Amino acid sequence: MPAMIHVDQRAQTYFRNLLDRQGEGILGIHLSVTQAGTPAADVALRYCEPGDLRGDEWQVEVSQGLSFYVDADSAPYLDQAEIALKNDGTSEQLSIRAPGLRGQVPSAEAGLVERIRWLIDSEINPQLASHGGHVDLEEVTGQGEVVLRFGGGCHGCGMAHVTLREGIERRLREAFPEITAVRDATDHATGEKPYYR
């Protein structure tokens, strides 16, 4: 089912003017979501040419002559999105509000893996991003061990063990008392751009 997108009149005029200046060959505006379902989620807009289409996009006709093309993977996150052109007195700026953009906190009934992954994506990785790093959940073993793999600036970082024990493990155990251990599965000797040597 395609995303329902609401575009106010001023934003429609703004997009039409942009498209008119581009000339022939531009189909409309392409919308996609980066880092969907996380606190870092954002909406990317660009001109859409026929060669850009992969075949799975939803075409949302906003009004006569104005269409948005939404990646199929992004559509659920953009459902009920509101796009408006706002004036703060000195300049105009596009505002995009999408209620599902950053996803929703899993319920207490959700599986442990889903709840751990949400905490990693919503709390831990935004902090690691300041060092150009991230951590991914590899698995939760039958014995309740959480196995993680570092990437980016954390891969090969001399402080990764401190980050794991003092930061990540402490936070995971606080949120999920049922886990028994937190292990790092990363081969840090292969890290190419560690934040700290």
Q: pLDDT tens across 122-180, in order?
A: 889 888 988 899 999 999 999 999 999 999 999 999 899 999 999 999 999 999 999 99
Q: Provide the whole-model pTM.
A: 0.60
User: In the chain, which segments carry CATH 3.30.300.130?
Assistant: 112-190
Instruction: Fill in the DSSP letter of residue 194.
Output: -
- Residue 33 pLDDT > 90, yes or no? yes
Q: Does residue 130 sit in helix, strand or coil?
A: helix
> What are the pLDDT digits (tens) for 92-132?
999 999 988 887 778 888 999 999 998 998 889 888 988 89
Burial class of 17 by CB neighbour count within 10 A (0 to 12, 13 to 18, 19+): exposed
| Residues whose CB is less than 8 angstroms from the CB of residue 68 and which lie 6 or more positions away in sequence, other chains included | 5, 7, 28, 29, 30, 31, 59, 60, 62
Instruction: Fill in the DSSP letter of residue 166.
Output: I
> What are the pLDDT digits (tens) for 35-55?
887 777 899 999 999 999 999
User: In the chain, which segments carry CATH 2.60.300.12?
Assistant: 5-97
| CATH of segment(s) 5-97 | 2.60.300.12
- Residue 2 pLDDT > 60, yes or no? no
Decide yes or no: CATH 3.30.1330.20 for domain 112-190.
Answer: no
pLDDT of 38: 76
Tokens for 135?
Answer: 């951590």
pLDDT of 136: 94
